[in-house]
Amino acid sequence: MAMKATLEARRAVRAYLADIPIGERILVGVSGGADSLALAIALHAEVSERELQLIPIVLNHNLQSGSREVAGQTIATLESLGIYGGIIRELDVVISDGLEASARRARYAEFAKVSEELGAQAIFLAHTHNDQAETVLLGLARGSGGKSLQGMADRNGLYRRPFLTIRREITEAVCNENGAKYWSDPQNFSTEFLRVKIRNHLLPFMEEQIGPGIADALVRTATLLRQDSELLDSMAAAYQGGLDCQALAELPIAIRSRVLRAAIYEAGAPPGSISADHLAPVEALVTAWNGQGATSLPGGVKVERISGRLSLSQQKENRGPSH
């Protein structure tokens, strides 16, 4: 009997392997949950036909009791599926701008480090259709503009997310079809996290009150916004006026906001940390100058207007005594 979910997962990953040369290494992030185990299963089945080396990376964030045991069990589960060569990396997550954001930043930093060490051609992540819908609603709640509403890219540098069209019930079915026991993260049920509230309460409520198809509509919206955003990003990248306030003021706001965000991130703000509220006082330094002072942003970035230009610097944040 054909394993329908596994075949669907394998079809999803094929296009993301096609351009990787024979014999190269690829990484897959595996947490032990259904999504990442399903991705590892699908990739393992496909890479054997393409002579690629698949290396699972299991990151222990050290944020929960028993996390080291979960990481070890994940490696054991992979090996029971015939997927060998997994690597466990221990993370030291510095909490600076919230647990979720800090853990995500540490995670991506470690992925990048491992990929450089091993010479990997791609890093596969198991974000699903459900995750994409949740991400769009998160962006809406945070008011951080079209950039966050466009969700996650299926390809972004080394990162590839072939499951953005795959629903969570499919990944669970893949695990069941292959006899893979997956781990359910307790934090996925903790209402301390906004994403959990969206997943377990808001999206189901919207489906009930408005009708089915809300998640599909959110993902379609993300795709359309990404297409528009890519054009605006290219226009912002072509801007040559630097941080001269007069030149910035002459730009359409959709372009100017992108130029400002890029400069702020380059100055040291954590990726994805700048919301519309953060950007508003920086915008005022350009277009509503009344002699106001500097504004402070995440990551210790300070922006001020000096002699008709924006000046950005990074200062060490005082995080208080560690415990």
End-to-end CA distance of the chain: 56
In a domain, 183, yes or no: yes
Q: Is 178 helix (H, G, I), strand (E, B) or coil?
A: coil
Residues 109 and 31 in one domain: yes
Is the Cα torsion angle 122, 76, 175, 3 positive or negative in sign? positive
In a domain, 51, yes or no: yes
Report the domain count for the chain.
2
In a domain, 143, yes or no: no
* Domain extent for 167: 4-126+161-189
State the pLDDT at residue 8.
97
Q: Which one-letter amino acid corresponds to residue 229?
A: S
- Which tokens hold the place of 129? 């259709």
Residues 40 and 122 in one domain: yes
Residue 179, domain CATH: 3.40.50.620
- Which tokens hold the place of 65? 């009791």
DSSP state of 192: T
Residues 114 and 261 in one domain: no
State the pLDDT at residue 65.
84
Residues 29 and 171 in one domain: yes
In a domain, 260, yes or no: yes
* 323 residues of the chain, pLDDT tens digit each: 458 999 999 999 999 999 999 999 999 999 999 999 999 999 999 998 788 999 999 999 888 888 899 999 999 999 999 999 999 999 888 887 777 778 888 899 999 999 999 999 999 999 999 999 998 888 887 765 666 788 899 999 999 999 999 999 999 999 999 999 998 876 766 677 788 888 888 888 998 898 888 999 999 988 898 899 889 999 999 999 999 999 999 999 999 999 999 999 999 998 778 888 899 999 999 999 999 999 999 999 999 999 999 999 998 654 444 43
